[in-house]
């Protein structure tokens, strides 16, 4: 076969290249730029090498916020994934109930993040909020602005309220794609409800659940707006997750160098965890 050599083909690649450069590479490179240098403004930069990275990696403050971040993400995954599957299983499979449930389920997802934060802030205020006031009226000493446990409780509750729907919708889609013949076959075999769940539904939902866990991991790991509006990272630093801490460092203290280094480390952690998780899930997939 004779191939025509025509370099003009590169012109077709340029638009994509420019687009990706502007929305991903260039912003990232400015961060990289800050991460290796020190600046006192006026566009004067001094080379610092890996100093900021070392400083961040060794800083207790970073360890603390990273720890809080992992704890938060694990707790919400631990609640949202099983809860989402459980709700999806109880949803109707056909009839008028389906659109009603789907619309109800997508409502929390449609609310802007800062509104969710503001909503829950007011909702949970101990003196005037419905939740806060009710809890206190019931005899609980609840005040999320002052007590660490209450702050965590409220933040987690808010995230569960906001995002469980996503897991529900994905699981529901997975469940709906299972052909009725599978359930009949199980019925003929006399399989129990639990066996139907573990032997048919879970394996068939595996792909959507992988996506659900990945999405929920990434989103919760990068959570900013909602806890920022709800607790502002407080009381103290109790709910200062990675991104809140990062913004404090970058814009509050104007430590651009360490903040840039921290962003990059943050970025690589997300990337690494997603990659490990995805590879593990897909490797199992290949075995089947």
Which residues in this chain contact other proteins in the complex, by CB under 8 A? 179, 181-182, 184-185, 187-191, 199-200, 203-204, 287-288
Give CA angle at 86 (83, 92), nearest 5°: 135
Q: How far is the CB of 199 from other proteins (least distance, A)?
A: 5
Burial zone of 134 (CB within 10 Å; 0-12 exposed, 13-18 middle, 19+ buried): exposed
Q: How far is the CB of 288 from other proteins (least distance, A)?
A: 4
- Give the span between the Cα atoms of 98 and 183, in whole angstroms: 20
Q: How far is the CB of 179 from other proteins (least distance, A)?
A: 5
Give 7 or 288: the residue with its C-beta nearer to other proteins.
288
Q: How far is the CB of 211 from other proteins (least distance, A)?
A: 18
Question: In Å, how far from its chain's centre is CA 161?
Answer: 14
Give 141 or 285: the residue with its C-beta nearer to other proteins.
285
- Give the span between the Cα atoms of 215 and 139, in whole angstroms: 38
Of the candidates 275, 80, 95, 96, the one whose C-alpha atom is nearest the C-alpha of residue 169 is: 80
Cis omega (within 30 of 0) on the bond before 235?
yes
Q: How far is the CB of 286 from other proteins (least distance, A)?
A: 10
Residue partners of 220: CB distance under 8 A and separation at least 6: 72, 73, 76, 77, 159, 163
Distance spanning both ends of the chain, measured CA to CA: 40
Question: Contact 234/145 with Cβ under 8 angstroms?
Answer: yes
For 168-210, give the secondary structure using H, E and C: HHHHHHHHHCCCHHHHHHHHHHCCCHHHHHHHHHHHHHHHHHH
Give 51 or 204: the residue with its C-beta nearer to other proteins.
204
Give 50 or 198: the residue with its C-beta nearer to other proteins.
198
Q: How far is the CB of 176 from other proteins (least distance, A)?
A: 15
Question: Contact 148/238 with Cβ under 8 angstroms?
Answer: yes
Give 85 or 249: the residue with its C-beta nearer to other proteins.
85
Q: How far is the CB of 136 from other proteins (least distance, A)?
A: 49
Phi-psi label, residue 258: left if phi above 0, alpha if psi -120 to 50, beta otherwise = alpha
Give 178 or 274: the residue with its C-beta nearer to other proteins.
178
Give 141 or 187: the residue with its C-beta nearer to other proteins.
187
């Amino acid at each position: 076969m004779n191939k025509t050599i025509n370099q003009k083909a590169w012109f077709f690649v340029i638009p994509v290249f420019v687009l990706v450069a502007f929305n991903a590479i260039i912003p990232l490179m400015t961060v990289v730029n800050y991460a290796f240098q020190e600046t006192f403004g006026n566009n004067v930069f001094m080379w610092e090498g890996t100093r900021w990275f070392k400083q961040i990696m060794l800083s207790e403050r970073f360890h603390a916020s990273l720890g809080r971040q992992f704890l938060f993400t694990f707790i919400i995954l631990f609640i949202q994934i099983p809860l989402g599957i459980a709700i999806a299983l109880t949803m109707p499979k056909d009839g008028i109930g389906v659109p009603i449930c789907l619309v109800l389920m997508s409502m929390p997802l449609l609310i802007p993040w800062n509104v969710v934060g503001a909503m829950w802030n007011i909702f949970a205020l101990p003196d005037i909020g419905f939740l806060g006031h009710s809890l206190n009226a019931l005899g609980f000493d609840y005040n999320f602005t002052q007590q660490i446990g209450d702050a965590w409780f409220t933040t987690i509750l808010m995230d569960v309220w906001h995002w469980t729907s996503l897991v529900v919708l994905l699981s529901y889609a997975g469940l709906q794609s299972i052909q009725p013949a599978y359930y009949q076959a199980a019925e003929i075999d006399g399989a129990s409800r639990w066996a139907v769940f573990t032997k048919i539904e879970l394996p068939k939902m595996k792909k959507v659940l992988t996506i659900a866990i990945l999405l929920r991991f990434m989103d919760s790991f990068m959570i900013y707006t909602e806890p920022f509006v709800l607790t502002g990272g407080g009381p103290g630093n109790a709910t200062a997750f990675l991104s809140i801490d990062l913004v404090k460092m970058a814009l509050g203290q104007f430590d651009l160098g360490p903040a840039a280094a921290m962003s990059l480390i943050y970025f690589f952690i997300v990337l690494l965890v997603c990659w490990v998780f995805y590879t593990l899930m897909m490797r199992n997939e290949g075995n089947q």
